[in-house]
Amino acid sequence: MNKEKSNRKRGVLLTSRGWEKLLKAIDQAQAQENHGVRYTFEELSDRTGLTPRTVSRVLDGKQRVDKPTLEQVFRAFRYRQGYSVFK
């Protein structure tokens, strides 16, 4: 049996507005909890429970990630406002 590779696009991308809001939430957390010092990918990984590579993909904003991953990042920064995603 030959199985063809699916070309279906999986995952979601944040809209530019959603991405800006996420970065703002991260900036606020850095200012309040880390004395304004930027988090490293390792620190972000510890905080989100995701691998540094996955955190990098989310923050890059150009690669699709699954919705639960994105929600996990939002929860880590207590970001509860609505957000939009491109499917």
For the stretch 2-47, pLDDT in tens is: 566 666 667 888 888 888 888 999 999 999 999 999 999 999 999 9
Whole-angstrom distance between the N-terminal and C-terminal Cα of the chain? 31
Domains detected in the chain: 13-30+38-80 (1.10.260)
Using alpha carbons, select from 13, 47, 17, 41 the residue that is nearest to residue 29.
Answer: 47
Question: Which of the four pLDDT bands, split at 50, 70 and 90, describes residue 85?
Answer: low
For 1, 8, 9, 10, the CA distances from 4, given in Å and listed in that order, are 10, 12, 15, 16
Residue with tokens 């850095």: 30
Q: What is the pTM of this model?
A: 0.74
